[in-house]
Amino acid sequence: MIGITVIGSYIPEKRISNYGRKAEFDIDDYFIEKKIGVRQVAVKDESEDTSDLCVRAFERLVKKVNIDKNQIEVAAVVTQNPDRNIPHTSAIVHGKLGLPESCASFDISHGCSGFIYGLSLMQSFMRENDFKKGLLFTCDPYSKIIDKKDKNTCLLFGDAATVTLISDKPCYVTGKFTFGTIGKEYKELSCADNRLYMNGRAVFNFSAKYVPEDINSLLKENGLSFDDIDQFIFHQGSKYIVDTISKRLGLDSKRVVFDAYDYGNTVSSSIPIILEKEMAKRENNYMVLSGFGVGLSWASVVVKKFQEDIK
């Protein structure tokens, strides 16, 4: 059985406070705390590239679990902000970590739904190729493409990286996935000429419409009810979108995590950063993970506790 064994996360120490930008952007505490839910955003050092952040996440991982690099059979990076367009960042990470020649590597280009896509792609790729150990990285440092004067994006997005060890010694295993795309609306969250553009209203409306429908479908597909789910981990698009989706689904706030106050919306890393913490609690039997945004797209999955300890 292949599944999620353990997660390592790296959030850069450097922060930019939104409280310090209230005058510049004409925002107040309500906006900071209740609307976006981001008090400060994490920002990588300028000298750090995407592959470096992935390496930092790996350093966190190996503090939690012994990993023999020679046993890693595949390394994948989910990113839309690679070091370079050629090669894939996973090849650069492969070189920096000194992974074996027999190790496959590929990047998945996806945004806020990227961790869920990555989970499905990695697990199925590993099962088909009879691999036992793989590393799934997420890293999308939007500080590379954010216009510091753009209120719609600069107050919201933070930098981070995560790495998930997928192995035959899982702590959590996945149920059925759901996916969807509204490609014709892709321009609402896009990057041209190295500058991020977001129509916050359009992305909000998309998410508030499609994600609740998707969660209902997901539970039905998995033969589960809302009462079966201990935690709902939604992509941390903003406090307001997480609250809105929760409200539309009638979810008690105790079962919904919002955690991005002190680092921001970290795109494909938002879900694994929280999942790492929720897995450590060892008390959740079933969790729903749901990503949505860039594409426009959504992707969701149910994860189920498989065993108590990492063997």
Which one of residues 25, 179, 240, 258 is an interface residue with a second copy (CB under 8 A)? Answer: 179
User: Rounded to the nearest whole angstrom, what is the least distance from the CB of residue 92 to a second copy in the complex?
Assistant: 5
Mask for 240-279, x = binds a second copy (CB under 8 A):
----------------------------------------
Which one of residues 3, 8, 82, 272 is an interface residue with a second copy (CB under 8 A)? Answer: 82
Whole-number Å distance between alpha carbons of 292 and 215: 12
4 sits near a second copy (criterion: CB under 8 A): no
Q: How far is CA 285 from CA 97, 170, 258, 305, in A?
A: 34, 14, 19, 5
- Choose the binding region for a second copy from 13-21, 26-34, 181-189, 240-248 (rule: CB under 8 A): 181-189
Structure tokens at 137: 């990285």
Whole-number Å distance between alpha carbons of 40 and 120: 32
208 sits near a second copy (criterion: CB under 8 A): no
Q: Pick left, alpha or beta for residue 295 (phi over 0 → left; psi -120 to 50 → alpha; otherwise beta).
A: left
User: Rounded to the nearest whole angstrom, what is the least distance from the CB of residue 70 to a second copy in the complex?
Assistant: 14
Nearest alpha-carbon partner for 133 in 103, 154, 159: 103
User: Rounded to the nearest whole angstrom, what is the least distance from the CB of residue 3 to a second copy in the complex?
Assistant: 13
297 sits near a second copy (criterion: CB under 8 A): yes
Report which secondary-structure segment, H or E, holds 154. helix 151-154
What does the DSSP 8-state code read for residue 198? Answer: E
Which residues are CB-neighbours of 85 under 8 A, at least 6 positions away?
none
Residues touching a second copy, count (CB under 8 A): 61
94 sits near a second copy (criterion: CB under 8 A): yes
Q: Which is nearer to a second copy, 84 or 282 (CB)?
A: 84
Which one of residues 191, 202, 224, 310 is an interface residue with a second copy (CB under 8 A)? Answer: 191
Nearest alpha-carbon partner for 120 in 291, 296, 279: 291
Q: Name which of residues 61 to 80 contact a second copy (CB under 8 A).
A: 74-75, 80
Cβ(135)–Cβ(73) below 8 Å: no
Residue 175: what residue type?
Answer: G
Mask for 107-146, x = binds a second copy (CB under 8 A):
xxxxx-----x--xx-xxx-xxx---------------x-
Cβ(55)–Cβ(97) below 8 Å: yes
Whole-number Å distance between alpha carbons of 188 and 8: 31
User: Rounded to the nearest whole angstrom, what is the least distance from the CB of residue 82 to a second copy in the complex?
Assistant: 7
153 sits near a second copy (criterion: CB under 8 A): no
Residue 209: what residue type?
Answer: K
Chain residues that interact with a second copy, rule: CB under 8 A: 74-75, 80-82, 84-96, 98-99, 101-111, 117, 120-121, 123-125, 127-129, 145, 176-177, 179-186, 189-192, 196, 294-297, 299
